Amino acid sequence: MKKTISDIKISGRRVLLRVDFNVPIRDGVISDDTRLKAAIPTIDYAVSNGARVILCSHLGRPLKEEKKAKERGLPFDRERFSLRPVASHLEKLLSRNVDFLDSCRGPEVFRFVSEMSDGDVCLLENLRFEAGEESNDTSFSEELAQLCDVYVNDAFGAAHRAHASTAGIAEFATRRVSGLLMERELKFLGRLLDSPEKPYVAILGGAKVSDKIPIINSLIEKGVDRILVGGAMAYTFLKANGYTVGKSLVEDDMLEQALEIQRSASEHGVELVLPTDHQVVDSYDPLNSRKTIPIDFTNAGLVGLDIGIETVALFKEKLVGAKTILWNGPMGMFEEKPFDAGTIEVAKAVAEATALGAVSIVGGGDSVAAVNETGLQGSISHISTGGGAALEFLSGKKLPGVDALEDK
Ligand code: ADP
Ligand code: MG
């Protein structure tokens, strides 16, 4: 267990709060403020406990983009990567003043934070304007640590990267704890690794088996009872088992690996469930040929884009009685209607199982987007903000940004 912000004294302290404010910004306007809202509880907590709150985050990849622009002889718009619009948006969300500093290091920043009063909030400029951030540079890490008495990391989504503000800083900051959002992520995801209540059912989908091998292996080792496989990833398994999958998305170089996973699953007594029907279109007439057919009826010209109703019913049945559910990867090409149907139905089934007592966790960028579209977020126990970090964590990898924090 990691220490959290509520375990230590923060009143009157300068708290450097590493957040994930990597939000989409268009013409200075934030088009999706989910990540800002997710950080509010920790900021509010720090403010109401009398801390001096120094927020810091990355936004995009300014140095890489600048280099690319230079190589192509194109102009580079640095302002696009400034966190300034975030400060004003945050002021509205917090209903309080947020000072924006147009740098994240140097004597002026140091002077500003030394003169802050209890309950003040400021936001530093994008950490990634400094090369030292991504290179995990020692002197930049030390400088960041000097800005604060307490370092708090609430950026779970960035915890899989060993950068100065997530990892390097640990060597110099005297106190290093998690924020409330990070704490919640570690609690829910940690339980899956340590002591998942059984029956434990995983639902895996998305595009590629290759992306998900570490997590599948970890699930099998951690005693998952069943793995329901949907999405394009199912076709690699189906093809490996001799089915015709037509023009569906398959990773031909992963067929042997897919069989290996099946073998390992059966050795560990894990039931691996594949789709029995799917929604397909004719690759030559995709707009007018949609139909749902059994997997065995697939011919060479068809493309599978979603699981079918029979598979939905099968997956629902396999979720009955589950006490722990992990879902990663959409069941079909959910961005294109009506191929979101399987994903929506599975979301409903997960919500129902949750109402009946299961702890349900959804992780992965696209999966979270899909669940948010269904409006069922409130009926799922935990929706991870972690994206790639959540997948690495669940694969059993140590995350540098988590390792950097003090143990309880
Ligand atoms: P996550 O981000 O949640 O980990 P992935 O990135 O692994 O999920 O997978 C999401 C992608 O998989 C989506 O873009 C979706 O369109 C695609 N996908 C799922 N099923 C299919 C399918 N049958 N054919 C093509 N693409 C699919
Ligand atoms: Mg994805």
Q: Which ligand is nearest to the CA of 364?
A: 1
Residue 385's pLDDT band, with cuts at 50, 70 and 90, is confident
Q: Identity (one letter) of the amino acid at 345?
A: E
Contact of 348 with 319, CB cutoff 8 Å:
no
Nearest CA owner, ligand 1 atom 26: 333
Distance 366 CA to ligand 2 centre (A): 5
Decide if 386 is catalytic: no
* pLDDT reported for residue 74: 95
Tokens describing residue 206: 């998305």
Q: Is 207 in the pocket of ligand 1 (CB under 6 A)?
A: yes
* pLDDT reported for residue 287: 87
Q: Which atom of ligand 1 is nearest to the CA of 365?
A: 2
Residue 242's pLDDT band, with cuts at 50, 70 and 90, is very high
Q: Give the domain ranges of the chain.
A: 5-183, 196-394
Q: Shortest CA distance to 225 belongs to which of 193, 202, 243, 248?
A: 202
Q: Which atom of ligand 1 is nearest to the CA of 234?
A: 23
pLDDT digits (tens, 9 = 90+) for 41-76: 999 999 999 999 999 999 999 999 999 999 999 999
* pLDDT reported for residue 71: 95
Q: Is 365 in the pocket of ligand 1 (CB under 6 A)?
A: yes
* pLDDT reported for residue 195: 87
Mean pLDDT for 169-198 is: 95
Q: Which atom of ligand 1 is nearest to the CA of 207?
A: 12
What is the reported pTM? 0.89
* pLDDT reported for residue 230: 98
Which of the following CATH numbers is that of domain 5-183: 3.30.70.890, 3.30.70.260, 3.40.50.1260, 3.60.15.10?
A: 3.40.50.1260
Nearest CA owner, ligand 1 atom 16: 333
Q: Of 3, 80, 208, 348, which is the active-site residue? A: 208
Decide if 387 is catalytic: no
Q: Identity (one letter) of the amino acid at 385?
A: T
Mean pLDDT is lowest, of 112-121, 131-140, 234-243, 386-395, for 386-395
CA distances from 183 to 129, 340, 361, 369, 379 (A): 28, 32, 15, 22, 20
pLDDT digits (tens, 9 = 90+) for 296-330: 999 999 999 999 999 999 999 999 999 999 999 99
Q: Which ligand is nearest to the CA of 236?
A: 1
The superfamily (CATH) of domain 196-394 is: Phosphoglycerate kinase, N-terminal domain (3.40.50.1260)
Decide if 365 is catalytic: yes
Distance 196 CA to ligand 1 centre (A): 26
Mean pLDDT for 326-355 is: 96
Measured CA to CA, the distance from residue 361 to residue 157 in angstroms comes to 16
Mean pLDDT for 249-258 is: 96
**Looking at the predicted structure, is the pLDDT value of residue 357 above 90?**
yes
Q: Do domains 5-183 and 196-394 have the same CATH topology?
A: yes
**Looking at the predicted structure, is the pLDDT value of residue 354 above 90?**
yes
Which H helix or E strand runs over 265? helix 255-267
Mean pLDDT for 108-123 is: 98
Using alpha carbons only, give the angle 162, 386, 54 rounded to the nearest 5 degrees: 65
